[in-house]
């Protein structure tokens, strides 16, 4: 309810009622929805209702003690709940004369019930008395997430932080408030359908005014929207503004009166004071309401009123409510009428040029245009399952998406809109034929059924309209019923039809709804091999959404599909070999579809499917190999599957199939190697079986972007091993990768940048990347918005920056400023990788001081030190250690409170963070009184504990930090009392001279302080 109340609710803006809700239909509907929620929460969500608020809600009430039931202890005019104040139960509410305090939604519900016929007034009083009620219920951190630009709090992250039952209940309460918020906003938005001034009519007016702003004798200088984004309902205002009836915001620049800021709403149009509509104080109404835009302009611009013909290009407001939106879409043809309007300023009938051609306008205004564009943008990036050799893998698949972890099956499924047949289809002869076939199919005997099935196979089942018509007439349900009979011929005929129909997405979901997936799984036990093969191929088509895949697993389908593979491998009779091979191929297709779910991957591995799939890799049939390798590469995201793949000589066959002439097979093999090469053993096996050279040869296929992405991904992961990099160097792979940094899709660039990072770990390659001009395109990629690409590119730039000659080029291209700006990126991985890249840039810059001062953004560092990501904290500490070498910078950092922020991090148990944190403290001690400040803040004792770490780097950096802190006598006493001397003595024998000296000097300083204390006593 964060956005509903903070944005959709209409509050008074002038004193003395600045915190009162306006009397409006929107507020009344909002209060009713909240009342319903509060009344029902006790019965529907009892645990959430008993959750104790962070702070009590308090307001002036009309409820008196006589209205309360026996659940309260009443004394005079004060009432308390009988509930005990404990950790398990919320603190009791307190009712005093005219004031009430509640600590849970359950208590709030009971109090609202007591108000009887004044429930709405009580809810309103509660909201007006607690404008920040979300902060009081959930605390400021979570409340700010719910209110931030309409964004919802990350409930999944809250669940990960669950430490006890109370935290779990709090996470569920946040999710409940989010869902309630969405429901309320959607209900408020429904009022648009009855609006007199709707988005469609507004667009007609805008087209007319924009037409009037063209030409030499134009009536207006310019007409534009303040936002280019259009919602599904045609509005351009934010959702909470739409709930108040606002449609869009327009800026009209007239010839004589200047610029006008206009708000279009369901009640008409009015002038606003400008500003950002995303903010509460933006676009405030400053004029009376006008019926439409043209009327407003006539009233506000005398030049416009005198020169425009008074004949309206649209119906008057009294007639609009009786006309449909489609009629207004048709009114776009009124543009010729606009061109005939007489403009006295022009002195004639000069015909104006339309803003858009009729074809362009028709395309733009087509109602389905937005949905088509959205459908094209939401095309699944996962590989399309092949049901035949000629069915190609989707070219829109991206390796980055494919390599990511498959989403959990518990996620809400995306319901795709069902494309219904056109009305003309129901009048066609084909529909009548379908109707007759389904009728005879239902009523005929076995022979008639077989005949009708053969006739249905002649239908064009590639058209969704035919498939939906068969389903709507009851034919789909009958076909599924045939699967439960004992007639194998009927089963085969039905399955052949279902295979073709199941390629239609609505039919897939309908088959699951009709329990057809379970019937298909049951037919995998048939004694007829052909029935099993057809059932498996149908499952391969249907299992394209999570619910169907879950049903296959829960029905035992995974084990049965794997059994099909085993039967083929064990078949001895030559007469059965071809049938068993087809069944195995279909089984592999079905497993490929099912393996897109995480639980199914684990089920395939635990059922012994990986070794059987590995045995099928020896087949020479590409139609068999593609689904087999596809299943293996899907399962390779699981560590248990990768271990099995390594131990069964599967890598050898994957490398062998890279030589195939089939592009689809090469893609799947490369992707499998990409996932498996996360492990050192796999990388060694690829090198052993001469697979590195084959991957390099695939880089020549620059026209096939999907194959290029798969190949570069495999090269990236294989290059993690230095031995492989040395082999790649001989084939000049680095030069080839540098040439792929431009004019490539993002999925290719991500892999290329990752591979370059690994190549640049070899010092000789840093000169090679400079000679082949690879640094400049890398710097340009820092302007990308793809998060995965930014992570890899920043790492590559950081690796380049370790070379001084490369650093000169980075300096010239302003690369350091771009890296520094990425610290503002909200992605923690981007922040960390950018910070790591900045460290060598500071160290190797020719004029490091100038470079550092050019950042002018030290204020970001304190914010980043408050991050919850250890990698971000470690990288920022490393940056601080570099910056602290310059006194001017260190002085600025000290003023920003860097001492207290670093001290707060000292209790970490992460050794990587400990190492860089100690280094940062060591360098920060070299300014003013920072040494004493660190001691007062409590940084000494944790650093002494760091000396117990098993990581030698942590012990070395802690020794250097303790040495700097030992210049303060109070710090020495703390070290002495915590046993630092015992830990420092072994460090005197360190292999690093500076650590030896630091340890010895620190022990000396501690001893000197101790001796002075003894003398003083």
pLDDT digits (tens, 9 = 90+) for 813-846: 888 888 888 888 889 999 999 999 999 988 887 6
- Tell me how far apart the alpha carbons of residues 681 and 684 are, in angstroms, rounded to a whole number: 5
The 259-265 sheet, strands edge to edge = 220-225, 246-254, 259-265, 268-271
Least confident of 309-313, 440-444, 742-746: 309-313
Whether the pLDDT of residue 190 is over 70: the answer is: no
Residue 875: the pLDDT is 93
**3-state DSSP call for residue 958?**
helix
343: number of Cβ within 10 Å: 18
What value does the CA radius of gyration of the chain take, rounded to a whole number of Å? 36
**Band (299; pLDDT cuts 50, 70, 90):** confident
222 phi/psi in degrees, rounded to 5: -160, 155
Residue 283: the pLDDT is 82
Residue 73: the pLDDT is 66
Residue 12: the pLDDT is 67
> Which contiguous run of DSSP H or E holds residue 60?
strand 57-60
Return the axis-axis angle of helices 546-554 and 557-570, rounded to nearest 10°. Answer: 70
Domain 883-1017 has CATH 3.40.50.2300: no
C-alpha to C-alpha distances, 50 to 102, 119, 242, nearest whole angstrom: 11, 21, 34
688 vs 116 pLDDT, higher one: 688
Q: Is there a cis peptide before residue 296, judged by omega within 30 degrees of 0? A: no
| Averaged pLDDT for residues 209-223 | 85
Residue 306: the pLDDT is 81
Residue 380: the pLDDT is 31
Residue 852: the pLDDT is 63
Whether the pLDDT of residue 383 is over 60: the answer is: no
Least confident of 413-422, 555-564, 782-791, 841-850: 413-422
Query: Which of 309, 267, 311, 274 minimizes the C-alpha distance to 292?
Result: 267
Contact indicator for 814, 778 with CB cutoff of 8 Å: no
Whether the pLDDT of residue 357 is over 60: the answer is: no
DSSP for 133-196? HHHHHH-HHHHHHHHSTTPPP-HHHHHHT--SHHHHHHHHHHHHHHHHHHHHHHHHHGGGGG-S
Whether the pLDDT of residue 358 is over 70: the answer is: no
- By 3-state DSSP, what share of the chain in percent is helix, strand and coil, each rounded to 5? 65, 5, 30
91 phi/psi in degrees, rounded to 5: -60, 150
Whether the pLDDT of residue 729 is over 60: the answer is: yes
- For 655-689, write each residue's pLDDT tens digit: 998 988 899 999 999 999 999 988 889 999 999 98
| Averaged pLDDT for residues 442-465 | 83
Residue 715: the pLDDT is 93
Whether the pLDDT of residue 379 is over 70: the answer is: no
Contact indicator for 921, 908 with CB cutoff of 8 Å: no
> Which contiguous run of DSSP H or E holds residue 221?
strand 220-225
Burial class (CB in 10 A: 0-12, 13-18, 19+), 500: buried
Rama region for 906: left / alpha / beta (φ>0; ψ in -120 to 50; rest): alpha
| pLDDT, the chain, mean | 79
**3-state DSSP call for residue 285?**
strand
725 vs 367 pLDDT, higher one: 725
Residue 81: the pLDDT is 67
- Residue indicated by tokens 């003398």: 1015
Percent of the chain with pLDDT over 90: 29
Burial class (CB in 10 A: 0-12, 13-18, 19+), 897: exposed
C-alpha to C-alpha distances, 51 to 103, 163, 165, 174, nearest whole angstrom: 8, 16, 11, 11
49 vs 149 pLDDT, higher one: 49
**3-state DSSP call for residue 87?**
coil
Q: Residue ranges per domain, the chain? A: 2-190, 195-369, 883-1017
Burial class (CB in 10 A: 0-12, 13-18, 19+), 326: exposed
- Range list of β-strands (E), 231-273: 246-254, 259-265, 268-271
2 vs 260 pLDDT, higher one: 260
Whether the pLDDT of residue 76 is over 90: the answer is: no
C-alpha to C-alpha distances, 909 to 431, 748, 894, 906, nearest whole angstrom: 71, 38, 25, 9
Rama region for 427: left / alpha / beta (φ>0; ψ in -120 to 50; rest): alpha
Residue 91: the pLDDT is 52
Residue 313: the pLDDT is 42
Residue 701: the pLDDT is 85
Top mean pLDDT of 316-320, 843-847, 872-876 is at 872-876
The stretches of 978-992 forming alpha helices (DSSP H) are: 980-984
Least confident of 245-259, 321-335, 500-514, 952-966: 321-335
Residue 424: the pLDDT is 59
Percent of the chain with pLDDT over 70: 78
CA count, 13 A, side-chain hemisphere, 894: 21
Contact indicator for 1001, 967 with CB cutoff of 8 Å: no
Q: What is the dihedral of CA 48, 50, 55, 57, to 10 degrees?
A: 100
Residue 328: the pLDDT is 35
| Averaged pLDDT for residues 9-21 | 60
pTM of the model: 0.59
C-alpha to C-alpha distances, 678 to 150, 403, 682, 720, 833, nearest whole angstrom: 39, 11, 8, 9, 20
Whether the pLDDT of residue 321 is over 60: the answer is: no
Residue 533: the pLDDT is 92
């Amino acid at each position: 309810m964060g956005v509903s109340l903070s944005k959709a609710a209409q509050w008074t803006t002038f004193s003395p009622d600045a915190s009162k809700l306006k009397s409006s239909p929107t507020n009344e509907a909002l209060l009713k929805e909240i009342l319903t929620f509060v009344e029902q929460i006790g019965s529907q969500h009892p645990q959430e209702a008993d959750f104790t608020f962070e702070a009590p809600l308090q307001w002036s009430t009309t409820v008196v003690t006589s209205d309360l039931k026996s659940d309260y202890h009443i004394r005079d005019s004060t009432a308390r709940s009988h509930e005990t104040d404990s950790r398990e139960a919320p603190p009791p509410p307190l009712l005093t004369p005219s004031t009430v305090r509640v600590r849970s939604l359950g208590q709030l519900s009971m109090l609202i019930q007591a108000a009887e016929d004044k429930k709405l007034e009580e809810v309103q009083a509660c909201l007006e008395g607690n404008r920040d009620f979300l902060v009081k219920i959930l605390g400021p951190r979570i409340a700010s997430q719910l209110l931030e630009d309409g964004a919802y709090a990350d409930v999944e992250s809250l669940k990960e932080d669950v430490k006890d039952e109370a935290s779990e209940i709090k996470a569920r309460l946040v999710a409940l408030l989010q869902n309630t918020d969405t429901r309320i906003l959607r209900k408020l938005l429904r009022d648009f359908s009855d609006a007199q001034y709707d988005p469609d009519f507004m667009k007609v007016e805008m087209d007319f005014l924009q037409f009037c702003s063209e030409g030499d004798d134009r009536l207006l200088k310019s007409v534009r929207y303040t936002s280019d984004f259009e919602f599904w309902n045609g509005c351009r205002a934010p959702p909470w503004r739409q709930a108040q009836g606002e449609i869009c915001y327009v800026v009209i620049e007239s010839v004589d009166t200047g610029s006008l800021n206009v708000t279009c709403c369901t009640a008409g149009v009015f002038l606003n004071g400008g500003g950002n509509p995303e903010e509460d104080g933006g676009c405030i109404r400053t004029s009376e309401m006008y019926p439409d835009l043209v009327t407003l302009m006539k009233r506000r611009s005398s030049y416009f009123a005198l020169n425009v013909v008074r004949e309206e290009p649209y119906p008057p407001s009294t007639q609009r409510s009786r006309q449909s939106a489609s009629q207004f879409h048709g009114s776009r043809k009124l543009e010729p009428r606009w061109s005939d309007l007489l403009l006295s300023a022009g002195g004639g009938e000069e015909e104006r040029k339309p803003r858009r051609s009729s074809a362009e306008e028709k395309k733009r205004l087509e109602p389905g245009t937005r949905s088509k564009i959205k459908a094209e943008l939401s095309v699944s990036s996962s590989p399309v399952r092949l049901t035949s050799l000629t069915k190609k893998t989707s070219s829109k698949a991206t390796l980055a998406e494919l390599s990511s972890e498959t989403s959990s099956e518990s996620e809400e499924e995306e319901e795709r809109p069902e494309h219904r047949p056109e009305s003309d289809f129901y009048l066609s002869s084909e529909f009548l034929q379908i109707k007759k076939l389904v009728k005879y199919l239902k009523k005929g005997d076995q022979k008639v059924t077989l005949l009708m099935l053969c006739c249905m196979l002649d239908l064009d089942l590639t058209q969704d309209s035919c498939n939906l018509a068969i389903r709507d007439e009851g034919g789909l349900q009958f076909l599924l019923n045939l699967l439960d009979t004992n007639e194998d011929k009927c089963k085969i005929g039905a399955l052949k039809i279902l295979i073709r129909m199941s390629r239609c997405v609505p039919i897939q979901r309908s088959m699951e709804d009709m329990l057809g997936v379970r019937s298909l799984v049951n037919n995998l036990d048939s004694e007829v091999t052909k029935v099993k093969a057809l059932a498996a191929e149908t499952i391969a088509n249907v299992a394209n959404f999570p619910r169907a895949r879950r049903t296959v697993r829960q029905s035992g389908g995974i084990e049965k599909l794997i059994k099909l593979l085993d039967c083929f491998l064990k078949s001895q009779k030559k007469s059965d070999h071809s049938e068993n091979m087809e069944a195995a191929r279909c089984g592999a297709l079905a497993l490929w579809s099912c393996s897109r779910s995480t639980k199914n991957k684990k089920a395939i591995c635990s059922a012994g499917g990986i070794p059987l799939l590995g045995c099928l890799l020896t087949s020479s049939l590409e139609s068999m190999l593609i689904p087999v390798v596809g299943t293996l590469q899907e399962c390779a995201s699981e560590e248990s599957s990768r271990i099995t793949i390594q131990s069964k000589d599967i890598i050898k066959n994957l490398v062998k199939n890279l030589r195939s002439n089939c592009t689809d097979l090469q893609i799947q093999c490369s992707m499998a190697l990409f996932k498996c090469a996360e492990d050192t053993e796999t990388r060694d096996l690829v090198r052993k079986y001469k697979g590195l050279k084959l991957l390099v040869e695939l880089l020549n296929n620059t026209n096939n972007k999907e194959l290029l992405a798969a190949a570069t991904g495999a090269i990236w992961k294989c290059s993690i091993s230095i031995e492989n990099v040395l082999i790649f160097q001989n084939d000049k792979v680095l030069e080839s990768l540098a040439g792929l940094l431009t004019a490539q899709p993002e999925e290719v660039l991500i892999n290329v940048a990752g591979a370059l990072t690994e190549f640049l770990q070899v010092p000789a390659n840093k000169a090679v990347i400079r000679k082949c001009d690879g640094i400049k395109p890398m710097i340009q990629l820092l302007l990308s918005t793809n998060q995965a690409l930014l992570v890899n590119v920043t790492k590559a730039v950081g690796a380049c920056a370790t070379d001084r000659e490369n650093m000169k080029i980075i300096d010239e291209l302003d690369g350091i400023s771009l890296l520094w700006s990425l610290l503002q990126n909200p992605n923690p991985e981007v922040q960390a990788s950018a910070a790591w890249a900045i460290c060598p840039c500071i160290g190797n810059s020719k004029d490091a001081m100038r470079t550092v001062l050019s950042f002018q953004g030290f204020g970001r560092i304190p914010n980043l030190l408050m991050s919850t990501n250890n990698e971000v904290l470690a990288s920022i500490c490393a940056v601080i250690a570099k910056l602290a070498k310059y006194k001017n910078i260190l002085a600025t950092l000290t003023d920003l409170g860097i001492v207290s922020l670093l001290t707060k991090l000292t209790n970490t148990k992460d050794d990587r963070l400990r190492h860089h944190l100690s280094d940062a403290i060591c360098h920060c001690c070299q300014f003013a009184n920072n040494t004493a400040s660190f001691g007062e803040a409590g940084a000494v004792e944790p650093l002494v504990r760091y000396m117990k770490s098993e990581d030698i780097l942590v012990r070395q950096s802690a020794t250097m930090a303790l040495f700097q802190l030992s210049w303060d006598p109070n710090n020495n006493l703390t070290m002495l009392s915590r046993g630092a001397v015992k830990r420092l003595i072994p460090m005197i024998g360190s292999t690093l001279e500076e650590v030896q000296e630091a340890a010895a000097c620190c022990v000396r300083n501690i001893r000197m302080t101790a001796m002075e204390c003894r003398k003083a006593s």
